Amino acid sequence: MKQSQTLIPTLREVPADADIKSHQLLLRAGFIRQNASGIYSFLPLGKKVLQKVEAIIREEMDEAGGVEVLMPALQPAELWETTGRWGTYGPELMRLTDRHNRSFALGATHEEIITSLLRDEVNSYKKLPLTLYQIQSKFRDEKRPRFGLLRGREFLMKDAYSFHSNKESLDEAYEKLMQAYSNIFRRCGLDFRAVQADSGAIGGKDNHEFMVLSEIGEDTIAFSDASDYAANLEMAAVTTSYPEQAHSGKDMTAVDTPDQKTITEVAAFLNVAASDVVKSMLFIADEKPVLVLIRGDHEVNEIKVKRALNAKVVELATHEETSTYLAAAAGSIGPVGVSEDITIIADHAVKSMGDLIIGANKEGVHYKHAKLNRDFSISQFEDLRFVVEGDPSPDGNGTIQFAKGIEVGHVFKLGTVYSEPLNATVLDENGRATPMIMGCYGIGVSRTVAAIAEQFNDDKGLTWPVNIAPYDLHVIAVNMKDELQSQVAEELYKLLKDYRYQVLLDNRPERAGVKFADSDLIGLPVRITVGKRASEGIVEVKIRKTGEVHEVQKEELTDKLQ
């Protein structure tokens, strides 16, 4: 591709509203542009990178037995009503009405669509197993879209769904897809971990997230420094299979007066953040409907808690609102959890009803009440174990470390949570109708691009891994006015393309400084500069990542690039 014929609008300044590296660089290097909050266009270079990631995903998915399909983004509300998610998915689901006043969702995910499809097309166990996938735009009206492609409102996802007539077959597909995911993220050059994740409202038991290790990640993962053990913090905090001998001894049963401890005391005793105590308690209270009152800037946990517990989440702004709400709700709800800024709620709520109130105030020392009474005495949390950094790993190998992670992939064993309500059954060996057993497997394709950019950059710009770079080689004619230089550059461009390299030729009539700065910013793995020594047949080869420079006779170039 010749740069004079494409669109690569580089920027010298750091865009004001972009506060992480990947977002800044993808904008500055002209890969993406924002159209509205959380909504982006991929410009030619961005599109190329997406295609590279997609190609890797397709190869690995196909290898794992997947078959590609394409489903609609517009989904009839009835399907979502049947599974109950028209109600429970909440404001994240984008909804619209057609001219006949029928309701639709813009697909946030495709379990409803694919399950109804298979219900109509597959009726015998003999046609299973089947794994279908697509790469398609998803829509989620995120409360706080941010970090560019990392949390968009329209974003590209690879979503796969597997269908089985027995559990063993699901286990087999799950294993294969876990392996495929590891291959994909490894080929993308990412430093990642597969972590055990919470099961969420979706109801499945086995469930892993693929986390790219990064300071700007929104999740916290606990992992062993000497083995493959890794879990997200919520999961790690409530794991009950933690062997006694491997544990630091900090467990809740040792609290003196169990049902009158404040959350601060519990947290101090366990040496963990109070908010983790809250999260963990909410997480394991899995049998009862829980009302979670959320205050403050807490949307990520809000969503998690909601999904983990199928809980009702209510935001209440004032004392009056809170007491009114609780008075009205008294008796009809189970335990109440208050997350984050409890101060407003606690004074009133604890008095107005005797349900469980647990919570933590954001302002550290100002932790307020945490009453554990009636439904939940603390002794019910006997099995609860908290993981603290430096603890021995549950598998006995190494010690626990914490890290921040970006969730790039997520795999679930769904079981029959969708096939049952949607009545997607097959006839088994005995001719009995039985609901199909399902798994689902997502990858944030556009988020993966951002995660790669986040891990591959330096102070000059992006430093794409070879597998992902939009082009392999950047050929630069330093001075386009110099006929020889422009001619040699053009010849090299043709030759290298013949050798099947993907080449970007900077043939713009720009100053050398501009060209080099843009080239560093764009970050192709190798730069070939055609400058003054072109008359002697010598060009300069520079490796972007290391800065290594070689002068090479242009005839030797193709050997050198091997």
513: left (phi over 0), alpha (psi -120 to 50) or beta: alpha
Q: Which of 112, 276, 302, 407 binds ligand ATP (CB under 6 A)?
A: 407
For residues 435 and 163, give the distance between their C-alpha atoms in angstroms, rounded to a whole number.
10
Q: Which of 133, 139, 155, 174 binds ligand ATP (CB under 6 A)?
A: 155
Question: For residues 23 and 474, which CB has a smaller minimum distance to ligand ATP in the complex?
Answer: 23
User: Could you give the residue ranges of the DSSP H alpha helices within 285-381?
Assistant: 299-309, 319-329, 343-352
Q: How far is the CB of 540 from Mg ion (least distance, A)?
A: 46
410 binds Mg ion (CB under 5 A): yes
Span 82-111, contacts to ligand ATP by CB under 6 A: 109
Q: Residue 62 class from Cβ within 10 Å (0-12 exposed, 13-18 middle, 19+ buried)?
A: middle
Q: Quote the tokens at residue 201.
A: 């409202």
Q: How far is the CB of 185 from Mg ion (least distance, A)?
A: 15
Q: How far is the CB of 407 from ligand ATP (least distance, A)?
A: 4
Question: For residues 272 and 308, which CB has a smaller minimum distance to Mg ion in the complex?
Answer: 308
Q: How far is the CB of 409 from ligand ATP (least distance, A)?
A: 5
Cβ-closest residue to Mg ion? 410
Q: Which of 142, 171, 206, 540 binds ligand ATP (CB under 6 A)?
A: 142
Q: Which stretch binds Mg ion (CB under 5 A): 97-105, 311-319, 373-381, 400-408?
A: 400-408
Spatial CA neighbour of 35 closest among 152, 206, 140, 126: 152
Q: How far is the CB of 67 from ligand ATP (least distance, A)?
A: 20
Q: What count of Cα atoms within 13 Å lies in the side-chain half-sphere of residue 561?
A: 27
Beta bridge partners of residue 133, listed in sequence order: 68, 160
410 binds ligand ATP (CB under 6 A): yes
Q: How far is the CB of 211 from Mg ion (least distance, A)?
A: 10
Question: For residues 407 and 510, which CB has a smaller minimum distance to Mg ion in the complex?
Answer: 407
Q: Which of 164, 447, 515, 544 binds ligand ATP (CB under 6 A)?
A: 447
Q: Strands 473-477, 461-462: parallel, antiparallel or unpaired by DSSP? A: unpaired
Q: Which stretch binds Mg ion (CB under 5 A): 59-67, 183-191, 399-407, 463-471?
A: 399-407
For residues 277 and 270, give the distance between their C-alpha atoms in angstroms, rounded to a whole number.
9
408 binding partner (options ligand ATP, Mg ion, none; Cβ < 5 to 8 Å by kind): ligand ATP
User: Could you give the residue ranges of the DSSP H alpha helices within 434-556?
Assistant: 445-455, 483-498, 512-522
Question: For residues 410 and 527, which CB has a smaller minimum distance to Mg ion in the complex?
Answer: 410
Q: Is cis: bond before 129, omega within 30 of 0? A: yes
Q: How far is the CB of 334 from Mg ion (least distance, A)?
A: 25
Question: For residues 444 and 461, which CB has a smaller minimum distance to ligand ATP in the complex?
Answer: 444
345: left (phi over 0), alpha (psi -120 to 50) or beta: alpha
For residues 186 and 511, give the distance between their C-alpha atoms in angstroms, rounded to a whole number.
38
Give residues with Cβ within 8 angstroms of 285, minimum separation 6: 309, 334, 335, 337, 376
Crossing angle of helices 44-63 and 445-455, in 10° steps, is: 110
Question: For residues 141 and 383, which CB has a smaller minimum distance to ligand ATP in the complex?
Answer: 141
Q: How far is the CB of 109 from ligand ATP (least distance, A)?
A: 6
Q: Quote the tokens at residue 184.
A: 């994909």
Span 157-186, contacts to ligand ATP by CB under 6 A: 157
Q: How far is the CB of 156 from Mg ion (least distance, A)?
A: 15
Question: For residues 91 and 547, which CB has a smaller minimum distance to ligand ATP in the complex?
Answer: 91
Q: Quote the tokens at residue 422.
A: 């949607």
Question: For residues 198 and 510, which CB has a smaller minimum distance to ligand ATP in the complex?
Answer: 198
Q: How far is the CB of 469 from ligand ATP (least distance, A)?
A: 22
Q: Quote the tokens at residue 540.
A: 């300069």
Q: How far is the CB of 158 from ligand ATP (least distance, A)?
A: 9
Q: Can you tell me whether residue 537 is helix, strand or coil?
A: coil
For residues 316 and 314, give the distance between their C-alpha atoms in angstroms, rounded to a whole number.
6
**522 C-beta neighbours (distance < 10 Å), count:** 27
Q: How far is the CB of 209 from ligand ATP (least distance, A)?
A: 7
359 binding partner (options Mg ion, ligand ATP, none; Cβ < 5 to 8 Å by kind): none
Q: Can you tell me whether residue 530 is helix, strand or coil?
A: strand
What is the total count of residues that contact ligand ATP (CB under 6 A)? 15
Q: Running DSSP on this structure, what letter comes out for residue 262?
A: -
Span 259-318, contacts to Mg ion by CB under 5 A: none
Question: For residues 178 and 384, which CB has a smaller minimum distance to ligand ATP in the complex?
Answer: 178
Q: Quote the tokens at residue 157.
A: 């996802």
**390 C-beta neighbours (distance < 10 Å), count:** 11
217 binds ligand ATP (CB under 6 A): no
Beta bridge partners of residue 157, listed in sequence order: 136, 444
What is the total count of residues that contact Mg ion (CB under 5 A)? 2
152 binds ligand ATP (CB under 6 A): yes
Question: For residues 21 and 410, which CB has a smaller minimum distance to Mg ion in the complex?
Answer: 410
The distance from CA 120 to its chain's CA centroid, rounded to whole angstroms, is: 32
392 binding partner (options ligand ATP, Mg ion, none; Cβ < 5 to 8 Å by kind): none
For residues 209 and 219, give the distance between their C-alpha atoms in angstroms, rounded to a whole number.
10
140 binds ligand ATP (CB under 6 A): yes
Q: Please report, as ranges, the residues that interact with Mg ion according to CB under 5 A.
A: 407, 410
Q: Please report, as ranges, the residues that interact with ligand ATP according to CB under 6 A.
A: 109, 140, 142, 151-152, 155, 157, 407-410, 442, 444, 446-447
